[in-house]
Chains A and B, each alone.
Chain A
Amino acid sequence: GAVVSQHPSRVICKSGTSVKIECRSLDFQATTMFWYRQFPKQSLMLMATSNEGSKATYEQGVEKDKFLINHASLTLSTLTVTSAHPEDSSFYICSVQEDRSTDTQYFGPGTRLTVL
């Protein structure tokens, strides 16, 4: 399956600052990427679907102005958490959809964000 990387793996920032997380598809050109977040002891929750060259589609309850997604190339999508607050502390995970005929997704290793 597709190999996906994320950078950084961990980030600690002060409240009010913005943090950018990169998701790269290393061996596959991904027209569609997904962003999830996971709070401690909870399951993954889909935040948004990122489509190359177009605006992301956000899930209900996810603020598009707070979580900026850019998918400018077939191998890179970025998630920027703007004006981060402690409640944004979470595990952020991206995935790529390799085959549009199925929903098989391949996930990155995740980014642990801690907002102080």
Chain B
Amino acid sequence: DAKTTQPTSMDCAEGRAANLPCNHSTISGNEYVYWYRQIHSQGPQYIIHGLKNNETNEMASLIITEDRKSSTLILPHATLRDTAVYYCIVDGGATNKLIFGTGTLLAVQP
């Protein structure tokens, strides 16, 4: 499975959009990009996933570059409850496993 690179931490003002980047330059054609988040002392929460096209759901939008080597998770109006570690994971489904990296700690500031 391809490796991902994310910034260690980011700040965002409450009410503003939070844009979380992820690099996955070694991604292969059949690998999906998944985003999860983990609020302190809780289990991870699924956010969104995509293959090639941009995706949007009630939680967030996922923008994948045309070459698929990077992506951005967008939380359109961040709230204090969005403070969490956000994990970007690339997986092709061959093993059914999700390998978690260190993620990005997003701190939403009042």
Contact = CB atoms under 8 A, between A and B. Distances in A.
A114 to B, nearest CB: 13
Interface of A: 1, 4, 6, 32, 34, 36, 43-46, 49, 91, 93, 95, 97, 100-110, 112
Nearest to A92: B43
Interface SS of B by simple majority? loop
A104 B46 contact: yes
Given A102-B32, A103-B34, A103-B93, A110 B98 contact: no
Is chain A's binding surface mostly helix, strand, loop or mixed? strand
Interface of B: 32, 34, 36, 38, 41-46, 49, 87, 91, 93, 96-103
Contacts of B96: 32, 49, 97, 100, 103
- The residue in B32, B91, B93, B97 that gathers the most chain A C-beta atoms within 10 A of its C-beta is B97
A110 B42 contact: yes
B96 to A, nearest CB: 6
A105 B45 CA distance: 9
11 contacts: A36-B100, A43-B101, A44-B44, A46-B99, A93-B43, A95-B43, A102-B49, A103-B96, A104-B46, A109-B42, A109-B43
Contacts of B93: 101-103
Given A103-B32, A104-B34, A104-B49, A46 B43 contact: no
A103 B94 CA distance: 9
Nearest to B102: A43
A106 B99 contact: no
